[in-house]
Amino acid sequence: MTYFQLSLTLIFVLIPLVLSYTLKLGLEKDILIATIRSTIQLLLVGYLLTFVFDGNHPIYMLLMILLMIVAATQNIIKKGKGIKGITWMIMLSMISVEIITQGVLLIFHIIPFEARYVIPISGMMIGNSMVLSLLFLNRFTSEVTHQQDQIELILSLGGNEKQAIHNALMSAIKNAMIPTIESLKTMGLVQLPGMMSGQIIGGADPMVAVQFQILVLFLLMTAATLSSVIVGFLSYKTLFNQHMQFIGLYEKETTKQ
């Protein structure tokens, strides 16, 4: 694809811009910002990955992965406002997912220890963990808010923190995992995944592309589970004080002000 051909794809930006303006959705600014940011970020990452792939050094790979984890964490912590220590919880979750998934892949020689394999797969795992953590935090904060009376009732009857928060926590974890599970059910019938499509467009054998895509799908399911469970079980205790009293989310924000 030439740069001229790439520039023609701006037609697909113009269509939502026109529709947003016509329907008075007020999304024109967001669309333009998203377009400019994504283009610049992808071009910079393209040049950076070229350097990393050419060097193929473990330090470069590690720094690239850390950069992705930090960027993803910064995007998530806004949604965890009111949960004490949410930054290190998110980072620990992503690092754990990365170590477990890459550990299995490399120990059993499923993929070679090369930048062009490790970094793209790491990016998919970290990106998926970011989305799942956002889903979990949105749901968890909502569940805690709506079940506050139930939580305090269980505590007043002698229940501990884990018993009081159990329903809200399990509901949030379950709802965060459902989109990934449901997408797996229709994979190959309703949609052709991005990695598989990219490899086929790049000239790879369709069956080889399918094998890599199956690998990624299974990894995504693990990432979905681990992200929700780790963040969930680390964060719920921050909603209670040392006397097993429910502090909640908004009380903490008020205290800080």
In the predicted structure, residue 24 carries a pLDDT above the cut 50: yes
Assign 251 a pLDDT band (cuts: 50, 70, 90): very low
Give residue for tokens 């912590």: 77
Statement to judge: residues 23 and 64 lie in one domain: no
Phi-psi region of 244 (alpha: psi -120 to 50; beta: other; left: phi over 0): left
Statement to judge: residues 63 and 129 lie in one domain: yes
**Residue 82 has what pLDDT?**
60
Statement to judge: residues 51 and 176 lie in one domain: no
The predicted-structure confidence for 219-247, as pLDDT tens digits, reads as follows 888 888 898 899 888 888 888 877 777 87
Nearest to 234 by CA among 157, 140, 125: 140
**Residue 90 has what pLDDT?**
85
Statement to judge: residues 5 and 99 lie in one domain: no
The predicted-structure confidence for 134-156, as pLDDT tens digits, reads as follows 888 888 888 888 888 898 889 88
Pair of tokens at residue 173:
């974890």
Statement to judge: residues 232 and 150 lie in one domain: yes
The predicted-structure confidence for 91-127, as pLDDT tens digits, reads as follows 888 899 999 999 999 999 998 998 888 998 998 888 8
Statement to judge: residues 136 and 14 lie in one domain: no
SS (H, E, C) the chain: CCHHHHHHCCHHHHHHHHHHHHCCCCCHHHHHHHHHHHHHHHHHHHHHHHHHHHHCCHHHHHHHHHHHHHHHHHHHHHHHCCCCCHHHHHHHHHHHHHHHHHHHHHHCCCCCCCHHHHHHHHHHHHHHHHHHHHHHHHHHHHHHHHCHHHHHHHHHCCCCHHHHHHHHHHHHHHHHHHHHHHHHHCECCCECCHHHHHHHHCCCCHHHHHHHHHHHHHHHHHHHHHHHHHHHHHHHHHHECCCCCECCCHHHHHHHC
Statement to judge: residues 176 and 64 lie in one domain: yes
CA distances from 245 to 10, 89, 90, 146 (A): 55, 22, 25, 17
Instruction: Tally Cβ neighbours within 10 Å of residue 64.
Output: 20
Statement to judge: residues 111 and 51 lie in one domain: no
CB 146 within 8 A of CB 140: no
Statement to judge: residues 36 and 152 lie in one domain: no
Query: How far is C-alpha 228 from the geometric centre of its chain's CA atoms?
Result: 10
Residues paired with residue 196 on neighbouring β-strands, in sequence order: none
In the predicted structure, residue 192 carries a pLDDT above the cut 80: no
Domain count, the chain: 2
In the predicted structure, residue 256 carries a pLDDT above the cut 60: no
Between 194 and 6, the more confident residue is 6
**Residue 102 has what pLDDT?**
92
Pair of tokens at residue 230:
């780790």
Q: 24, 55, 86: which is the final residue of a domain?
A: 55
Q: 28, 55, 82: which is the final residue of a domain?
A: 55
Statement to judge: residues 31 and 156 lie in one domain: no
**Residue 107 has what pLDDT?**
93
* pTM of the entire predicted model: 0.75
In angstroms, the CA 183 to CA 202 distance is: 24
Full residue range of the structural domain in which residue 214 is found: 57-256
**Residue 88 has what pLDDT?**
85
Percent of the chain at pLDDT exceeding 90 = 21
Statement to judge: residues 113 and 135 lie in one domain: yes
Statement to judge: residues 89 and 2 lie in one domain: no
Query: How far is C-alpha 151 from the geometric centre of its chain's CA atoms?
Result: 28
Query: How far is C-alpha 101 from the geometric centre of its chain's CA atoms?
Result: 15
User: How large is the average pLDDT for residues 56-85?
Assistant: 81
Q: 55, 81, 96: which is the final residue of a domain?
A: 55
